[in-house]
Structure 1
Amino acid sequence: MAVTLVLGGSGASRIGIRSSALAELCACLHSVDELEHHPASRAWAEFFEAALQGGLAAESGAFAPLWGPFRARYLLPLTAHSRRELDEELRDVERLPLPEFLAMSAQALVGKTTQDPLHRLVDDAALRKRFMARFRLISTRHHQLAGRLFADAEQLRADLLGFLRAVADAAFTEEWRRLRPVVNVEVRHKVHTRNQVGHRVLADFPIATLREDPPRVVFDKLYPASASVDESPCLLVPSVHGNPHTVIKHYPGFPIVVQYPISEVRGAEISLEVMRKRLTVLNDPVRIKLCQDILRRAASTTDLALRLDMTAPQVSRHLRRLREAGLVHGHRDGAVVRYQLDVEAVRRLGLDFLQALRR
């Protein structure tokens, strides 16, 4: 399955690149909720949990489905304007017509493309009832959040915006002050790339492929979707805490947004010795297979041993070599240690190699 952006006759003028404090805030919240997929965000998660009081922490869990894998569209930039501050982006959400706020929320909660007329959720009781039955099957917190949404969408929006502003005051403003220079370096780099290669900048990601006849960029994702850059401008938004995910969102009448991962240490140089060590470690078919297995999903030594038909000590020895080379992170989940590939470290060895691992 794939998400396809049809280019048509669009040129580089239809593709913008900018930072978004709101998008990064929600990537931060997502990384806390799914830390096993974001090992590089562990220090932030510890700071976040220490900074939040009990009430805010509980609200974070209640709202979490909105910034899950299928991010609510309004939690990414709603306009293509440059130099938007967090307060301005939150006011954009505040001004969003209620039917669209409700529909975008429901779209995120469903978690996949739906043919249902979401704009009718405001006044179609039968459609809301059908959606509630679907949410009950997904999870308790999806069902509870949907209940609040359908009971009083305006109040839910006010509560959500109040929560986001409180998190910004308690923790995110300090984190954004640290990350913004890193993100701005990436923005300048991507603008330069766009100016050099035009719409081909949209294919400058490991999961993207440029195809012709008709001209389009195909993103390897777990769900099907399609949008036209001729009809909606496209906005590229780099994210540190979004790493390793690429989020692609489109809603009619709003820009297509591609939030893509970058590393906080993107500009740091890798020594020749580190490069040599990493290439040497990867010169082993078993370690390549391990990297493929833990690219998208963290796994324990026992899980990997079962999947690869090896003993746990054999897997441990290979994982140790990968950890020593800085290619794999381990994090404790109760009594179990799970391992995940450091996508940025591999990306810096070569995009072609990372793309080959994803196949």
Structure 2
Amino acid sequence: MSVCIDITGLRPERVTVVPSPLAELGMALHALSEPGHHPGLQGWVTGVTARLDPYLADRMCEADFLWRTTFSDLFLPYAGLPGRDALPGATLTEELDLLDKLTDEQFVNAATEFMCTPGYDTPGLDVLADPAQHRRALDLAASRGPRQVHFTRRLLDDPPGVRAWLRQFLRDCDEAFFADVWARVSHPLAADARHKTDLLRRKGLAEALTSVSSAVSLDEGAALISVDKMAHGRTATADGGLLLIPTSLGWPHLMVLHRYGWQPVLHYPVGSPELASPPSVEQLTLRITALSHPVRMRICRLLARSAHTTSEMAQSLGMTAPEISRHLGVLKKASLITTRRRGRYVLHQLDVTVVARLGSDFLEGLLR
């Protein structure tokens, strides 16, 4: 599974790496709402939560599904502006002004993304003008919960009022805690953007994308960027550009904006504990499938204690050598065992490090 970006005709100068204060504020809100996703930020979350004004904390709950359930494209508004080449602002105020430039239809469609509505990468439905879509939006919201219904009803009845509420809420968050965060992270993010831009100029897009994440790859022949995720999606730069936006608060999330008609955006974490080559979704699937069989679990238990030959395992488990070999082939394909030769014997052993990381790898793959 992957999200793909068709970059046919994309000129090098239309690829831009730039930090975004509004996107970083969105990640800050997400971390506060889902601290379990971000174990490295637990201390910061505890400190902010302890001194947060109760009134602001209550308002934070009114629409937290915009940054908790999903990461709303409202935090990347420049991607939706005409021309598909707008850039983030240098300050939060500038980016809130860009948010104001989205049409009501764009704003509502992006704000109702939490409903898991179909057609994210196809032309959106006009829920404001179509009564049937209006009713459907409320039905979908009802399946998510009463707060979602209340927010959706406000949104459909009074888009300008919700826009004003959101702008003021974000400004209050900036005053309460985010200004300090941005003062701390903006310089490292700018340095990373300069580094990626230098790679683009000197070594090309493929090298720059590899430095973003090993989950991102470029097929230059097909002019296609693929992002390894547990999701399907497709978009194209067309006559617009491509934005790469770094975040200091985002790990393990690697997000791709592929909304129909919007400029594609890669929102990637920097300074993360990500390994040099984290397993792909396909590798994770192979490993989980390999460990789901009871015989292979018994083999793993043997190989976790010490190295064994195929004949030893066959004798210990009461099976034939060919049967053991077939199971070993599955485990080896999943990179769960290592093999070494000692004289005329071939010894197999469980790679305990890989198995130990499987839980965190799986979680990272889900959250990526």
Cα separation, 1, equivalents of 2:53 and 2:22: 21
The match for 1:40 is 40
Matched, 1:194 2:260: no
The match for 2:8 is 8
Is residue 248–residue 257 contact of structure 1 (8 Å, CA) maintained in 2? yes
How many angstroms does 1:164 deviate by?
A: 0.4
The match for 1:86 is 92
Structure 1 residue identity aligned to 2:360? I
> RMSD of aligned C-alpha atoms?
2.8
Matched, 1:62 2:62: yes
What pairs up with 1:252-271 in 2 under 5 angstroms? Answer: 252-263=260-271
Structure 2 residue identity aligned to 1:132? L
Cα separation, 2, equivalents of 1:212 and 1:3: 16
What pairs up with 1:303-322 in 2 under 5 angstroms? Answer: none
The match for 1:347 is none
The match for 1:291 is 357
What pairs up with 1:1-359 in 2 under 5 angstroms? Answer: 1-68=1-68, 70-78=70-78, 80-81=86-87, 84-110=90-116, 113-114=119-120, 118-200=124-206, 201-204=208-211, 205-263=213-271, 285-297=351-363
Q: Secondary structure at the match of 1:138?
A: coil
Structure 2 residue identity aligned to 1:42? Q
Cα separation, 1, equivalents of 2:44 and 2:358: 27
Is residue 113–residue 224 contact of structure 1 (8 Å, CA) maintained in 2? no
Q: Secondary structure at the match of 2:246?
A: strand
1:319-353 deviations in whole A, cap 9, x for unaligned?
Answer: xxxxxxxxxxxxxxxxxxxxxx8xxxxxxxxxxxx
Structure 2, unpaired ranges of 5+: 80-85, 275-348
Count how many residue pairs are aligned between Structure 1 and Structure 2.
286
Cα separation, 1, equivalents of 2:129 and 2:174: 34
How many angstroms does 1:285 deviate by?
A: 1.9
The match for 2:82 is none
How many angstroms does 1:69 deviate by?
A: 5.5
Structure 2 residue identity aligned to 1:75? F
How many angstroms does 1:155 deviate by?
A: 1.0
How many angstroms does 1:81 deviate by?
A: 3.0
Structure 1 residue identity aligned to 2:108? L
**1:285–1:111 CA distance, 2 compared to 1 (3 A):** farther
Is residue 4–residue 216 contact of structure 1 (8 Å, CA) maintained in 2? yes
How many angstroms does 1:261 deviate by?
A: 0.5
Cα separation, 2, equivalents of 1:293 and 1:128: 41
Q: Secondary structure at the match of 1:58?
A: helix
Is residue 22–residue 75 contact of structure 1 (8 Å, CA) maintained in 2? yes
Q: Secondary structure at the match of 2:240?
A: coil
Structure 2 length-normalised TM? 0.70
The match for 2:327 is none
1:23-52 deviations in whole A, cap 9, x for unaligned?
Answer: 000001011111111111112212321232
Structure 1, unpaired ranges of 5+: 267-282, 298-340, 342-354
Structure 1 length-normalised TM? 0.72
Cα separation, 2, equivalents of 1:67 and 1:54: 19
Structure 2 residue identity aligned to 1:247? M
